[in-house]
Each structure stands twice: as C-alpha cells, then as structure tokens.
Amino acid sequence: MNTITIGGKAGHGVKAAAKLSAKIFSDIGYYIFILNDYPSVISGDHNYSKITFDKKEIHSYYNDSDFLIALDERTLKEHKSEIKKDGVVLFDKNSFESNEKNHFGIPAGNIVKESEGISIMRNTALLGAFMYVAGIDFCVLEKILKKTYPSNAKINIEIAKKGYLYAKDNFKQKLKTKKIGKPKKFLCGNMSLSDGALNAGLETYIAYPMTPATSILHYLAGKNNVKTIQPENEISVITMALGSSYAGSKTMIGTSGGGFALMTESISFAGISEIPLVIVESQRAGPSTGIPTYTGQSDLNFTLNPGHGEFPLVVIAPGSPEQAFFNGSEALQIAWKYQLPVIVLLDKHLSDSSKTFEIDKKRIKKINPKLSKGGKNYLRYKFTKDGISPITFPGKKDTVVKVTSYEHLENGITTENKKDIKKMFDKRFEKIKNFEKEMNNLETFKVYGKGKNVIVTWGSSLGAVLEAVKEIKDVKVIQPIYLKPFPHKSIKKYLKKAKNIVCVEGNATAQLADLIKLNTGIEIKNKILKYDSREFEPIELRKELKRWFK
Amino acid sequence: MNLDTNAKITWCPGCGDFGILNAFKGAVKELIDEGIKKENIVIASGIGCHAKIVDYVNVNSFYSLHGRTIPPLTGMKLANKNLKLIGFSGDGDCLDEGISHLIHAAKRNIDITIILHNNNVFALTVGQATATSPKGFKGKSTPKGSIEEPLNPIKLVLVSGATFVARGYAGNPNHLKKIIKKAVKHKGFSFVEVLQPCVIFNNSYQKLSKTVYDMNKKGHNINDMNLAMKKSEEFNGKIPIGIFYKIKKQTFDEHY
Ligand SMILES: Cc1ncc(C[n+]2csc(CCOP(=O)(O)OP(=O)(O)O)c2C)c(N)n1
Ligand code: SF4
Ligand SMILES: [Mg+2]
C-alpha cells in the first residue's frame, strides 16, 4: 500500500491532479482511495489531496506518504512530517528550491512555458515525472490525458512526456508498478448516491448550493435524464419538491446542516401530508456556518428529530460510496412505497472522498409503490390495513387528489374532530410498523470480522475503522446503516455478547452511543470521539483502539 | 357542474373570501366548458382565512404551509406541464412570510396563476398588521398604529417580471371571474390582486364599492409598462381594477 500527497494553492488544480493520479493506478488494476482537503477559499490558500492505492480494497486514506508532489513551497512545509523514511518529494524547481535527499526538482514552470501551456499544467509535468519515479508505463498516463482533455490532449501529453524524460535523465526509479488487473472504477459518495437514486427512477433533483452537498447538483445537472432546479432558498427547495412529488415526479433534494434547518417545517409537512420525498443531508463540521468544507457527524440527533409534531420518518446513513448507491436507490423507493420523508445522512468525507468499488447489480432491491387508478371515489388518505393509501396524481380523469398540511379526513379535507385525528395518526404510524417488517429484507446494519470485542461506528467513520482493525485481533465492527427505525433487535443481540464495546464517531457528544442506549438499553462507556472537523485516520485510530483492546 | 365539497364553510358571514370563491368557481366552470380538463386543474394555498378556499372547491388541491403557496406550484408545473395551476395566497402569506417566492416566481415567469386575497391584515391570527396594512393601522400588535409604509403588490410584481398583472374586487365577483379566467389562460406568471374586505378586522366594502373603477373600460394600454407602473400608484379617491399589464414572454417551464 502506498500513499501520494499532492498539494498546492487553491487554483493550482490539486483536485484534478489527484483524480488523474488515482486514474493511473485504477487503470492498471489497483484499488484507490482519494481524500480532498481544502479550506473554504476559491483561490490562493493551501489545498491537498491524498491518494492511497493498494492491491486489495481499501476503505480510507492514510496520512503517511510515499510520495509528495508539491506545487508550491508551503506544501513541502505542511506535509514534510508525513513523508515516510524513503519517501520521495517531487516539486517544481522553478517555484522553489530544496536540496534534501530524495527531493527531486523538476523544472515544471519552464517545461510549461516551453510548450506554451498555461500555468495550471505544471501539475501535468510533475505527474509525468511521477510516472517515471513510480515505474509506470508512460502510455497509461497518455491514454488518460487523451480521455480527460479531449481538446487539449496534445499539449498535456507533450508536457507530461517532458516531465517523464526529465525524471528519467536525472532521478532513480523508486518503484516498479506493473499492471495487476483490469481497469477499476472509483467514485465519491455524492455521485454514487446520485447514481443509486437514478437507478431507482429519480426524475427531479432540487437544491440550493451548500457544501458538501453541492456536487450532487453539479453532477445531476450534467445528466439528460433528470430535471435539476436551483430555487431561491432551501424553503423553496423543499416545498417545490413536495409539489413535484405530489404531481408524480420522483424527487430528491440535498443540502447541508444549515439548509436542512430551513427545511424542517416542511419535513413535518411531508410527514402529515404523506408526500414521498428523499432529503440528502451532507454534514459539515460544527454548528451554524461551522467549518464549511470539513467533516463531522454531529447532525445525527437533528436528522432523527427534524420536525415539529410526530410523524413517521426513515433515516439512513451509508458508510461508503458503495453503500451510498444502494441506500440512494432504497431511499427513493421507500419514500414512494411508504409515502414519507426519507433522509439520507452523509458527511463531507463520504460525499467528497472517492473509493474503488463495484456495484453488484443483483443486490439492487425493487420496492414497489402502491398505485391507484383513481376514479370518482378516490380518497387520497384512504384507511387501509397497512396504513398505505394507494397513491395517484393530479391529471387523472374523474379523480380529485387533495393533500394538506392540516390534519385531515380520508378525502384530504381539514378536520378538528378528535376521533378522526387519532385514527389518521394511527394510520400514519401503521406504515412504519409495516416498514419495520420490510427492513428484514434490507441491509439495515453490517457486521465486519469476528471477535469478542466490538466496535460500533456509523457513516464515513466506518472506513478508517475497517482499516484500523486490520491489525487488531479478536474484534468485530458493527455498523448500523438504518438509524430510524433502528434495527434494535439485531444490534442488541450482538452487543449483549460483546466483551468490550467501543463506539467511534465524529462528534463531541457520542450521539450514536446515545441512540443505541435508547434503543437497546445498553450503555457504551468507551468512546473515541473526534470533533476537530477532520476525518479519522487509520494509524492514529489504531493506536487509540489498542488502548481499549489490549 | 357541482364544484362544492362537503366541507363546512367557516368564513365569517359577509367575508370577502365568498366573493372570491364564487368568482373562482364561476371561472372554473366556464374554463371547463371552453375545453380545459377539470382533472388538470390544481389549486394551492398557504395558511390563513384565504387558504380555506382549497377545502371548498372539489378539484385537485395542495394545502401548503404559511407563506409557501408558490414553490409547490412551480414543482408541479415542471413535473406535469399539462396542469393548470392556481394559487390562493393572503397578504401575510404572500408578502410577509413568503415574499421571496413571489418575486422569484415572477422573475422566472413560471406558468402559474397567483390570486392574492388582500385584506390588509393577518386575519386568521386575529388582526395584526401585514405588509399591505396602511401606515397608522391599529391592530392588536400595533395599538398605537402601524409605523411602516405599506408595500404595493402590483408594483412589486411588475418590477419582478410578472407577465400578467391585474386587480379585482371581491365585491364585484362578475368582473373578478373574467379577470381570473384571463389570468389562468395567460401563458406565464399571472398575478391577480383581489381587494378583499374582512368584515371583522378591515371592513372596507363601503369605501371600496365607491372608489373602484374598471381601468380597461377607459382604454388603458395593457402593453405599456410605464403606464402600468403609474396606474399602480393610483389609490387616492379612485382605485383601478382590471388588467394593468400583459406581455408575451418565454416561460420558465418551456426551458424544461
Ligand atoms: C410559519 C408560521 N407562522 C405563523 C403562522 C400563523 N399564521 C396563520 S395564518 C397567519 C396570517 C395569515 O394572514 P394572511 O396570509 O394575510 O391571511 P388571512 O388570514 O388574512 O386571509 C399566520 C401568521 C403559521 N401558520 N405558520
Ligand atoms: S376574519 Fe376576516 S378574513 Fe377571516 S373569515 Fe372573517 S371576515 Fe373573512
Ligand atoms: Mg390577510
């Protein structure tokens, strides 16, 4: 397993270079993981990415690097301590000087000038040099550049080749990296979740820009098979979405904590009016505006209780881009079958980090909605055994479809009669009882490994935990994926048998541990909590875990 | 055709909302006779006395939250372009709580109709000043009189980009019916302000019946923005009702 760190100023194309280098390794059959770290600044400040690659699946980035590609001097300063013993630094020697051992200077600035390129292409020259030092066939990069920059391929290839040849003439090769398998695919959580929703028939996506959810809007806006809308604010987003769903369009919305806060009145509206809706909440760190481009898991309690009044609700928290695909697909279908709001809880680390995985198409679930043909006697809120009133949409002959935010009768007209009120409440909660049965067919939690000791974790923290336990014996990892309703019976069964339990999560108040206590009565005393807005790192986490599991 | 539901009407006897209800039902009947399919009509409302209207008309309806009459209609239009979408909003609903949606819907020229029940008061919450209450308005929250200048809804939607702007009077349902029909048939964002007396908190029947006049009878040029802006300022002595402004423009939904 190796890690490359690429860094430079915002605007230097660090993210793009990271993606290219991940593609290099993916194309020759490696598994990769990319972490992007960037402050909330458009140009100038320090950005970096870490690309870890391995022959086996990896679930997290690693901090310590075998290669550091520095587009500016600050990158070297910030990341010097992370370079492994024989690690190599590749840097633009037209930008700064360094004469230390294994620091390889490439005249990237001059190469770009010579080829009449633009300054952002310095990273192409460095990547070219990297190809030589990492011992990878130059053709691999050439092919990728052709695909990535169809109109600028020639100049990019020329620049990369010059970097490659410069390295060949001046440096020692550090690795010999052979093709080990078929090209692999990698994707970030936001895109994978979007693909999952599209797979389940997503038709409309509505959002107001807010990091780290924004890239869902960008990704879907580029597709032809889904409508995307960017309204004036998040209140408009969610109420527009409710109108869209009411008119029969499978609709999803996305935001981060602040936008989600603005939506809460309407989430409760979706609950009482039984309008299907998927809401993606990608957490950023901290309360309020917080730390916009960094990660955290502190909105769990908020998303579990996001509205006034009582109404059925589903909250799902995938822990990897792969799970995001399945959960995205399930979320849309559950929302439409049970006619309720479904929240998919992500965070910056999951939304933005990419990982190699394959989708096993056989695992995609089909959950059918209960549709009605309508007709003269149609009742939008008809009482049924399972609480689900067959749904239809405006536009059907002889059919009147009335939905409302007020408590209502079967026909959707306001009521204040106490008997009717209770009956309608019971009907709505009957749906969730039925959904709890359906949960038996879904992957509502996942258990990894074997052992008497147990780590519980959720969301993106799963990745670092899975890497950390690779060198810890006698431990299993339990990840609840469905957080509401909570798969309490199964989780309780596992926890009761555990010798020692540690909860790992990205918040200050151990919200998952509280949820487990509430649902199982089991109190988890040992907690590893991180709330410095950065994601867990496997080696550091392993050290902490070993304190608990001696 | 019977457009009534079995809901009990709970407006105060004499409320201006009755005039709007009757005008609207009349308009719907005629629109259906003229070929609009009943199943394609959807009405929406916010929360307030005005909003109860959706319970009283037997067509598809979306009884939304306070201030949120407009965005759901936009969502519906993009989901199904065949739908004829009409929103009923109050002055509190439309110009206080949900004013951003009004401005943006007008700016987008989304093909929907908004009917503003302007009674210059928060009626359902028993009588506070709204964005359209006149300066000096004595309500429960402004016992010494409101200190704010009122907002001019016609002017607001004109500058925001609405492509059909009109005013009706709840005390003249026949005229209002004709205006509503034209607004619904208009392709683009149409806005109808209805001067609506509230017999409890702002009984303006007497005053309005004497002062409103049909501006379209006197040959007002409805394609002239400057003229429309000027007309929107006429309040003293005579209040114009009818169509202020109408133009053709590509609609938001046509881009989808
Ligand atoms: C978010 C929210 N805030 C406040 C209210 C309380 N509320 C109900 S109706 C209303 C005012 C309605 O005024 P207007 O829209 O002018 O309608 P009218 O009753 O005058 O017809 C208010 C403030 C509410 N339902 N929701
Ligand atoms: S309070 Fe005013 S607006 Fe409300 S029903 Fe009575 S008269 Fe109508
Ligand atoms: Mg009012």
What is A445-545's CATH number? Answer: 3.40.50.920
B64 to chain A, minimum CA–CA distance in Å? Answer: 6
A375 in contact with B at a CB cutoff of 8 Å? no
DSSP symbols for A91-108: EETTT----STTEEEE-H
Domain boundaries, chain A: 2-170, 187-363, 445-545
**Residues enclosing ligand 2, CB less than 6 A?**
B 11-12, 15, 17, 49, 119, 123, 198-201
What's the CA-to-centroid distance between B236 and ligand 2, angstroms?
25
- Nearest CB among B39, B47, B52 relative to A399 is that of B39
Chain B residues touching A252 at Cβ < 8 A? none
DSSP β-bridge partners for residue A43: none
SS3 category, A113: helix
What's the CA-to-centroid distance between B102 and ligand 1, angstroms?
16
Q: Is B145 within 8 Å of B137 (Cβ atoms)? A: yes
- Nearest CB among A235, A400, A411 relative to B68 is that of A235
Which run of H or E residues covers position A452? none
Question: What is the amino acid identity at position A6?
Answer: I
- Contact B5/A241, CB-based, under 8 Å? no
Strands A103-106 and A83-92, sheet pairing: parallel
Which run of H or E residues covers position A112? helix A108-114
A397 in contact with B at a CB cutoff of 8 Å? yes
Which residue of chain A is at minimal alpha-carbon distance from B103? A232
Tokens 């875990």 found at: A545
Instruction: Quickly count: other Cβ atoms within 10 Å of residue A11's Cβ.
Output: 14
SS3 category, A141: helix
Residue A550: per-residue pLDDT: 75
Phi, psi dihedral angles at A172 (to 5 degrees): -90, 145
Question: How many C-alpha atoms does B27 have within 13 Å on its Cβ side?
Answer: 24
For residue A212, is the peptide bond before it cis, meaning its omega torsion is within 30 degrees of 0? yes
Q: What is the dihedral of CA A329, A335, A336, A337, to 10 degrees?
A: 100
- Sorted by sequence, the CB contacts under 8 Å of residue A397 that are 6+ apart come out as A374, B37, B39
What's the CA-to-centroid distance between B96 and ligand 1, angstroms?
9
- Nearest CB among B52, B55, B64 relative to A239 is that of B64
Domain boundaries, chain B: 16-249
B66 lines ligand 1 (CB under 6 A): yes
Length of chain B: 256
Taking the C-alpha atoms of residue A4 and residue A20, their distance in angstroms, rounded to an integer, is: 12
Q: Is A172 within 8 Å of A219 (Cβ atoms)? A: no
Taking the C-alpha atoms of residue A306 and residue A315, their distance in angstroms, rounded to an integer, is: 10
Q: Is B168 within 8 Å of B194 (Cβ atoms)? A: yes
Of all residues in chain B, what percent carry a pLDDT higher than 70? 100
Domain B16-249 in CATH 3.40.50.970? The answer is yes
Taking the C-alpha atoms of residue A515 and residue A506, their distance in angstroms, rounded to an integer, is: 15
B11 lines ligand 1 (CB under 6 A): no
Within A339-479, residue ranges assigned H as helices are 348-352, 418-438, 461-468
Q: Is A447 within 8 Å of A477 (Cβ atoms)? A: yes
* Ligand nearest to the CA of residue B63, numbered in listed order: 1
Distances in Å between the alpha carbon of A505 and those of A266, A296, A351, A518, B231?
Answer: 29, 9, 17, 17, 63
Q: Is A462 within 8 Å of A320 (Cβ atoms)? A: yes
Taking the C-alpha atoms of residue A54 and residue A50, their distance in angstroms, rounded to an integer, is: 13
Question: What's the token pair of residue B244?
Answer: 């202020």
Residue B1: per-residue pLDDT: 87
Q: What is the mean pLDDT of residues B105-119?
A: 98
- Nearest CB among A227, A233, A239 relative to B78 is that of A227
Within A286-390, residue ranges assigned H as helices are 300-304, 321-338, 348-352
- Nearest CB among B47, B75, B103 relative to A243 is that of B75
DSSP A522: P
B182 to chain A, minimum CA–CA distance in Å? Answer: 22
Instruction: Quickly count: other Cβ atoms within 10 Å of residue A56's Cβ.
Output: 8
pLDDT tens digits, one per residue of B186-231: 999 999 999 999 999 999 999 999 999 999 998 899 999 999 999 9
Question: What's the token pair of residue A322?
Answer: 């792969």
Helix axes A122-133, A14-27, angle to 10 degrees: 30
Tokens 């002595």 found at: B237
Question: Which residue of B2, B10, B39 to mutate against A (max A Cβ within 10 Å)?
Answer: B39
Question: What's the token pair of residue A482?
Answer: 């469905």
- Contact B68/A266, CB-based, under 8 Å? yes
pLDDT tens digits, one per residue of A388-420: 999 999 999 999 999 999 999 999 999 999 999
Q: What is the mean pLDDT of residues B49-53?
A: 98
Query: Could you check whether A2-170 and A445-545 share the same CATH topology?
Result: no
B82 to chain A, minimum CA–CA distance in Å? Answer: 8
ipTM for the whole complex: 0.98
A396 to chain B, minimum CA–CA distance in Å? Answer: 6
Tokens 């500016």 found at: A72
What's the CA-to-centroid distance between B128 and ligand 1, angstroms?
10
Taking the C-alpha atoms of residue A221 and residue A236, their distance in angstroms, rounded to an integer, is: 18
In the structure, what pLDDT confidence band is assigned to residue B89 with cuts at 50, 70 and 90? very high
Assess whether pLDDT exceeds 90 at residue B80.
Answer: yes
Pocket test for ligand 2, best of B20, B199, B204 (most atoms within 8 A of CB): B199
* Ligand nearest to the CA of residue B123, numbered in listed order: 1
Q: Is A388 within 8 Å of A337 (Cβ atoms)? A: yes
Return the ligand 2 atom nearest residue B119 CA: 3
DSSP β-bridge partners for residue B212: B239
Length of chain A: 550
B183 lines ligand 1 (CB under 6 A): no
End-to-end CA distance of chain B: 34
Tokens 């210059």 found at: B120
- Contact B64/A399, CB-based, under 8 Å? no
pLDDT tens digits, one per residue of B114-158: 999 999 999 999 999 999 999 999 999 999 999 999 999 999 999
What's the CA-to-centroid distance between B213 and ligand 2, angstroms?
24
Q: Of all protein residues, whose CA lies closest to atom 5 belonging to ligand 2?
A: B11
Which residue of chain A is at minimal alpha-carbon distance from B256? A227
What is A2-170's CATH number? Answer: 3.40.920.10
Question: What's the token pair of residue A156?
Answer: 């990019």
DSSP B17: H
Q: What is the mean pLDDT of residues B78-105?
A: 98
Q: Which pLDDT tens digits describe chain A residue by residue (550 residues)?
A: 999 999 999 888 999 999 999 999 999 999 999 999 998 888 779 999 999 999 999 999 999 999 999 999 999 999 999 999 999 999 999 999 999 999 999 999 999 999 999 999 999 999 999 999 999 999 999 999 999 999 999 999 999 999 999 999 999 999 999 999 999 999 999 999 999 999 999 999 999 999 999 999 999 999 999 999 999 999 999 999 999 999 999 999 999 999 999 999 999 999 999 999 999 999 999 999 999 999 999 999 999 999 999 999 999 999 999 999 999 999 999 999 999 999 999 999 999 999 999 999 999 999 999 999 999 999 999 999 999 999 999 999 999 999 999 999 999 999 999 999 999 999 999 999 999 999 999 999 999 999 999 999 999 999 999 999 999 999 999 999 999 999 999 999 999 999 999 999 999 999 999 999 999 999 999 999 999 999 999 999 999 999 998 7
- Contact A251/B75, CB-based, under 8 Å? yes
CATH fold of A187-363 reads Rossmann fold (3.40.50)
Taking the C-alpha atoms of residue A549 and residue A502, their distance in angstroms, rounded to an integer, is: 9
Question: What's the token pair of residue B154?
Answer: 């016609």
Return the ligand 1 atom nearest residue B91 CA: 16
CB pairs under 8 A between A and B: 133
DSSP β-bridge partners for residue A425: none
Within A201-352, residue ranges assigned H as helices are 214-221, 234-246, 257-273, 300-304, 321-338, 348-352
Taking the C-alpha atoms of residue B27 and residue B31, their distance in angstroms, rounded to an integer, is: 6
Taking the C-alpha atoms of residue A287 and residue A45, their distance in angstroms, rounded to an integer, is: 23
A223 in contact with B at a CB cutoff of 8 Å? no
- Contact B7/A399, CB-based, under 8 Å? no
pLDDT tens digits, one per residue of A333-386: 999 999 999 999 999 999 999 999 999 999 999 999 999 999 999 999 999 999
Question: What is the amino acid identity at position A472?
Answer: I
Question: Which residue of B28, B63, B66 to mutate against A (max A Cβ within 10 Å)?
Answer: B63
Q: What is the mean pLDDT of residues B13-39?
A: 98
Taking the C-alpha atoms of residue B30 and residue B22, their distance in angstroms, rounded to an integer, is: 12
Question: What's the token pair of residue A442?
Answer: 């879904």
Q: Which residue in B207, B220, B165 sits closest to B189, CA to CA?
A: B165
